[in-house]
Amino acid sequence: MQVHRIVLAVSLCAAMPAFAQSSADLSLWRLDCGTGAKPVTIAERFSDTYAYSPDKQLPFTYSCYVVKHGNDVMVWDTGFVPGSNPNAPKVSLTDQLGQLKITPDQVKFVGISHFHADHTSQLPSLPNAQLLIGKGDWDGITAKPPMGGANAAAFTHWISGGGKVEPLTLDKDVFGDGSVVVMRTPGHTPGHSSLLVRLKQGAVILVGDAAHFHENYESNGVPAFNYDRAETVASLDRIKKVAANLKATVIIQHDPRDIGKLPAFPQAAH
Ligand SMILES: [Zn+2]
């Protein structure tokens, strides 16, 4: 009888998913990294199939995120520098981290969805963080001259060897327990990434700019400014399958309709 119980226990373990839920405390905050000064006309730049009428406008937001895993801190996307343009945030990333009692030195990883300025401009305020970025984007940043649209200046510290960088060709299991994964979702840029955070309350996917708003996400819509159409569509398909399998909440970082999917700062989701 004893033997049978042991066998049963072993077979149950074997049936568990490869990555069990993390035992470390995991929290996720949304930070305001900018507010669109006025609604954006989406027909021209945000559809390569003439999907929207010329007068359709949508408001945009700009979001950064903080993940805390045990005592380790990761920042996801860094937004514009305050005061740099009409869409820029009023409060800096470091000041918002300060409200969470996190100093820039404590930030161990900074993950970047892609190299555009609205996601990377406050990178220099996190010089001690290891940079996690898709290799395609890193190659675009370090090319001479840099690829069009790449905000290479923000990466100077890492390009010069002053900071650690890990150019990703595969998904990156950031903390080694499957709880936080930088997913390869190329297309918008060559090395575009999304972030999966498997909170206790349920999984969340931060999609970067794989889609900029609900309408494009739902219809596999591709912006006119986009690196590789087929890759973008495949990445949207991947995100939707991961979301279905994990019953994940999908958060479109630029869509103000998704701000309320996480608690209002400084509250966190757990
Ligand atoms: Zn963006």
- pLDDT at residue 12 greater than cutoff 60: no
Residue found under tokens 């119980």 = 5
Question: Separation of 62 CA from ligand 1 center, angstroms?
Answer: 7
- Mean pLDDT across the chain: 93
**Model confidence pLDDT, tens digit, residues 178-236:** 999 999 999 999 999 999 999 999 999 999 999 999 999 999 999 999 999 999 999 99
Structure tokens at 117: 């300025």
- Whether the bond between 266 and the residue before it is cis, its omega within 30 degrees of 0, is yes
- pLDDT at residue 254 greater than cutoff 50: yes
**Model confidence pLDDT, tens digit, residues 116-131:** 999 999 999 999 999 9
List C-alpha distances in Å: 255 to 55, 109, 172, 217: 18, 25, 25, 11
Question: Separation of 24 CA from ligand 1 center, angstroms?
Answer: 31
The confidence score (pLDDT) of residue 23 equals: 74
The CB density around residue 218, as the number of other CB atoms within 10 Å, is 11
Question: Separation of 34 CA from ligand 1 center, angstroms?
Answer: 11
